[in-house]
Amino acid sequence: MPPTGSPRHEAICRAALEVVAEDGYDRMSMDAVAARARASKATIYRHWAGKRDLVLDALHLRGPSCVVVPDTGTLRGDILATLGMVDTGTMREDMLLVSGVLRALAGVPEIADAVREQILEAKRDLSRTLVSRAVARGEVPPDADPDVFHVVAPALVFFRVTVLGQPVDEEFLTYVTDDVLIPLLTRQRPVPARAEQKESA
């Protein structure tokens, strides 16, 4: 049995997440994980009771998915660079993983919690970093919503790729940046009473 943290243990966990990303949690088989990790199924079952336990363990071992926001010197540059990472590295893996566990998100609460905490919540800081830098540069008002990037950007990208099946190409990134995110971040927000009196414009 591979002790926690051993190379063998890590290889199995990594294989499990790859299989989830490719086949989806529902279709994931221990055979596929075993084959990919070059381990026997007996070895896997000695350590994990089933795929739920294995995937959970793998998510925890992987840890929160931190992404460093490129510091390009402008809000527009930072946004484009951050969104551009969706097609590569960790961000791409994250998105495939979220797609892979999508149905499990509704039915397996522990997996849903782990994914939301380690993949989605972990990116809230990214949004805040991006906004606070822009505030410091004077590009956006000090009361700009620090979470708007976090709420809007992943949703647009996820819907585009998963539902519309369209590429995260330059046209899309430019649209999201110039026609959605920058206008939302740079707008002058009305003073508090907003909710009641919307008709001011």
22 binds its own copies (CB under 8 A): no
29 binds its own copies (CB under 8 A): no
Q: Which of residues 98-127 bind its own copies (CB under 8 A)?
A: 98-99, 102-103, 105-106, 112, 116, 120
**Contacting range for its own copies; rule: CB under 8 A; set: 6-14, 34-42, 62-70, 183-191:** 183-191
Return the half-sphere exposure (C-beta side, CA atoms, 13 A cut-off) of residue 49. 3
96 binds its own copies (CB under 8 A): no
74 binds its own copies (CB under 8 A): yes
Q: What are the distances in angstroms from CA 56 to CA 48, 92, 96, 107?
A: 10, 20, 16, 14
Cα–Cα distance measured from residue 44 to residue 54, given in angstroms and rounded to the nearest whole number: 8
160 binds its own copies (CB under 8 A): yes
Region of 3 please: left (phi>0), alpha (psi -120 to 50) or beta.
beta
Nearer to its own copies among residue 7 and residue 138 (C-beta): 138
Task: Extract the tokens encoding 165.
Answer: 């099946």
Cα–Cα distance measured from residue 88 to residue 71, given in angstroms and rounded to the nearest whole number: 18
Task: Extract the tokens encoding 200.
Answer: 């001011």
Cα–Cα distance measured from residue 90 to residue 92, given in angstroms and rounded to the nearest whole number: 5
170 binds its own copies (CB under 8 A): yes
Nearer to its own copies among residue 46 and residue 187 (C-beta): 187
Nearer to its own copies among residue 11 and residue 152 (C-beta): 152
Distance of CA 122 to the CA centre of its chain: 8
Tokens 């994914």 locate to 115
158 binds its own copies (CB under 8 A): yes
76 binds its own copies (CB under 8 A): yes
60 binds its own copies (CB under 8 A): no
130 binds its own copies (CB under 8 A): no
Q: Please, what is the minimum distance in Å from the beta carbon of residue 126 to its own copies? A: 16
Task: Extract the tokens encoding 86.
Answer: 């969706």
Residues that bind its own copies (CB under 8 A): 24, 26-27, 74, 76, 98-99, 102-103, 105-106, 112, 116, 120, 139-140, 145, 148, 151-152, 154-156, 158-160, 162-165, 170-171, 174-175, 178-180, 182-184, 186-187, 194-195, 197-201
